Amino acid sequence: MTDLDIREEAAAPVRDRGFWRRTPKPDDEEARSAVSWGDRNNPTVRWTLRIVQVLVFVGLVVAAVFPMIWLAKASISTTGDLIRDPLGWWPSGIDFSNYAVVWNELGIYKYLLNTLWLALGSAAVTLVVCITGAYCLSILRPRWGAVVYWAVLATLFIPGVISLVPLYLTVLDLPGLGISLLNSMWAVWLPAGASAFSLVLAKRFFDSIPRELIEAARIDGAGPVRVLWSIVIPLSRPIISVLALLSCVSAYKEYLWPLLVLPDPNVQPISVALPRVEPSLEYSAMMAALFLSLLVPIVLFLIFQRQFLRSVGMANGIKG
């Protein structure tokens, strides 16, 4: 056998030598796995792991999807059927009149519009505050920037319940202006914009922008506003969409703060209005109202699922 034959035999795939083994994985991938790749070559371990993964996946799907399916079924059922047999499939037939009741008599569309207006305003204020603040701390870098940044980080360790009373007193009598923001969307928009987590998220993204681009723009005569508008914001579209989506989701599910600062029923969002009108609604009509309120975030998630998953990944990266 020549030297060439020996080299070709050594370079041949493992399968050609009469036995088959899984290609070893790098050490870092094996360290992140609960079961080593060597153990996965064992058929018993491999099939047991697959069965466990399938069972966990089915359990998660059932736990997440079944409540929404039941709520959709309950929204077109009668109150008597829900009381007698909550898991029954329409013993007395399908009743779509529940949606007419919550739409016409309750006027749920008004609360949904209030919620949409509240979420969009919160997202807009959050973007203005966080983008300008992160730009100042990350790009302009004033001498007192480090102090401000650490002060912002310190607020992340303060529970929201502790600042609830001072914040309410501030909204009740705005310092310097002497006006009250109660029953005004600004009472929700302004506190939502002062989000330390969103500011830190934006700053971390701005820190990754190449400094060469900023310096080149300054050499060409661009001022701070022009650099922000023409360079930083176009390069920051991913983080801007993430911040807007996180702000909208947070505003949509908020309950306690809108309950305190929006006592007028005409300006209340859906999260505050439904508990208030629940005693006056039939059980089946309440299920229809809950399903309509749940349908909005589901549709938004299906439309913006890529941005939502990206926001979750960035949020976990910052928290870690």
All structural domains of the chain: 37-100 (no CATH), 101-319 (1.10.3720.10)
pLDDT of residue 29: 46
Could you tell me the pLDDT band of residue 38, with boundaries at 50, 70 and 90? low
> Average pLDDT for residues 192-216, to the nearest whole number?
87
> Does the pLDDT of residue 199 top 50, yes or no?
yes
> Does the pLDDT of residue 16 top 60, yes or no?
no
> Average pLDDT for residues 97-117, to the nearest whole number?
88
pLDDT of residue 4: 45
> Average pLDDT for residues 3-16, to the nearest whole number?
46
Could you tell me if 265 and 273 are in contact, meaning their C-beta atoms sit under 8 angstroms apart? yes
Percentage of the chain modeled with pLDDT above 90:
12
pTM score of the predicted model: 0.73
> Does the pLDDT of residue 11 top 60, yes or no?
no
